[in-house]
Structure 1
């Protein structure tokens, strides 16, 4: 499969983000995605926007995390903060390091320092007047780390970008209307998940491939590529029950069948078949509301059907839900943390105020 990257860059600039003449655009790239950043920057230049490309290699990130005194990792960069403050659009041309396995032996304390550094972007989005898109880019190293075939991973990823966005938007709108008029969501599955979530009057957002003027009025300024979810920041005090998350791969390590109890929205770890210590290490070294429920998301991308441990695609698997802990201030919530962690529940049954939305991972006909 050979993606049409010039066409993808054009779509990002004109359809997804509707970038305008005179807007300042910050484009973050890895060393292997610089070519895509160049294509996006050229599209910006053609319409009179002002792009700036910032590159981060795996080698730089690794050596920064392993060779820098932890106290310096936590000091915000004034230059970086100034650039982010000036940006009206932020485009991240990677959502994962090229070789995630390199970070598997780095401590939670050091990783927390890097998150503190990067939180500048989220603070900028919370202030308003800025929109953001995060673009994944699969690599052979990621596939090897995930234990999957690279060619299949690559095809799944880019086919998930080339979907019917009108159809996606229509399904997302139906689910948004259901959630907007409802108060609670009940999620169960055969593994033992049994969770009740209170929605209150929190706004319901959709990641349907574009940030429209209506989205901006609502405060929806975030977008992923691949796209495909409806999401909300729940009221944490009304969330209770147990969730079992099938597979999580974060910062180079696997967590299998992680079981969390939620009481008044706070996550209490119970057990995991594998990786509980890694979960605790990352959460214990995070800041603020790190263990409060942050998000309920519903996956909608029809081309993503397999869980592989790559969060950007896993959370878009059609017929799944994901629960996040940590920060949710960019989606209408009040949690403040340097951590936002999405975790997926497979084959859920989801009932919204007594209405069946999906059963064992299959949407009811009126919401499909």
Structure 2
């Protein structure tokens, strides 16, 4: 669901990239004068979005820098220059990529220990969650049309509704999922904590997807039962059929 603002000028299709990026910089990440902003991106359509974020950051009198690397899959390593740029601990790190940011070779082989005494396999995660020194948002696979439609929304309403949904899940004991095709699943969530991606990344240690808008919870291990019917998966060009799991 998209949460449009009361201001009709914010309808994504009628806004320019720079206007949408100003919303992201102000309402999502709350960039301040003099803050260092590192934008990591790739050639192509995502670069267009990144350049608009660069311009928006300048309008707030921040100090933006863009670093461009070739697109990376989940199996590939980020360029060393990208890792070193993150190590410089800018106030804000933004990843606008065709696929992924890229893995951290040192983190995977040796690892980083955060101020929370937890071990991290990427310098980005260590600085964001372990040290809480930076704040961030990331947009893997983003395209301009999606950015224009899904970023200029009512963030106050989004955060309110995400909070309400998270409270409901926190107090809940079971989630029941049923479909016309036969799924009838009971998922135990007693004692589990809900998480929300509500576009509020305004403080160090905060980060998430943009576009935002998600509330999720993991099930209690070994306490779910029922039937799942899979009616869609990766298309392989072969005849489709339902997969029923008890």
Could you tell me the TM-score, scaled by structure 1's length? 0.46
Is the alpha carbon distance of 1:234 and 1:78 closer, same or farther for their aligned partners in structure 2, counting shifts above 3 Å?
farther
Q: Does residue 184 of the first structure (1) align with residue 170 of the second (2)?
A: no
Matched positions, count: 213
**Alignment of 1:91 onto 2:94:** yes
Which structure's residues are more often strand, by fraction? Answer: 1
Aligned ranges 1:1-368 → 2 under 5 Å: 1=13, 3-32=15-44, 33-58=46-71, 61=72, 78-85=80-87, 86-94=89-97, 96=99, 120=122, 121-127=124-130, 128-135=132-139, 136-138=141-143, 154=145, 158-212=148-202, 221-225=207-211, 227-248=212-233
Could you tell me which runs of 5 or more consecutive residues in structure 1 were left unpaired when the two chains were aligned: 98-113, 140-153, 263-368
Q: Is the 8 A contact 2:18 2:55 kept in 1?
A: no
- Equivalent residue, structure 2, for 1:269: none
Distance (whole Å) between structure 2 residues aligned to residue 43 and residue 94 of structure 1 = 18
Relative contact order, CA 8 A, sep 6+: which one is greater? 2
Q: Distance in 2 between matches of 1:57 and 1:254?
A: 30
State the distance in 2 between where 1:130 and 1:237 align. Answer: 37
Extract unaligned runs of 5+ from structure 2: 1-12, 108-120
Deviation at 1:233, TM superposition (A): 4.0
What is the Cα deviation at residue 19 of structure 1?
2.0
Q: Distance in 1 between matches of 2:168 and 2:96?
A: 33
Q: How many Å separate the matches in 1 of 2:20 and 2:199?
A: 12
C-alpha distance 45-200 of structure 1, shift in aligned 2 (>3 A): farther
Cα distance change on mapping 1:43 and 1:158 into 2, 3 Å = closer
Q: Deviations over 1:209-261 (max 9, x none)?
A: 33355xx7xx6531321x22212344444445554454455xx9789778596
Q: Deviations over 1:270-325 (max 9, x none)?
A: xxxxxxxxxxxxxxxxxxxxxxxxxxxxxxxxxxxxxxxxxxxxxxxxxxxxxxxx
- Per the normalisation by structure 2, the TM-score is 0.64
Higher helix share: 1
CA 1:257–1:55: 2 relative to 1, 3 Å: farther
CA contact (8 A) 2:25 2:56 kept: yes
CA-CA distance at 1:124 after TM superposition: 4.1
How much has 1:95 moved relative to structure 2? 5.1
Q: CA deviation at 1:51?
A: 2.5
CA contact (8 A) 2:40 2:66 kept: yes
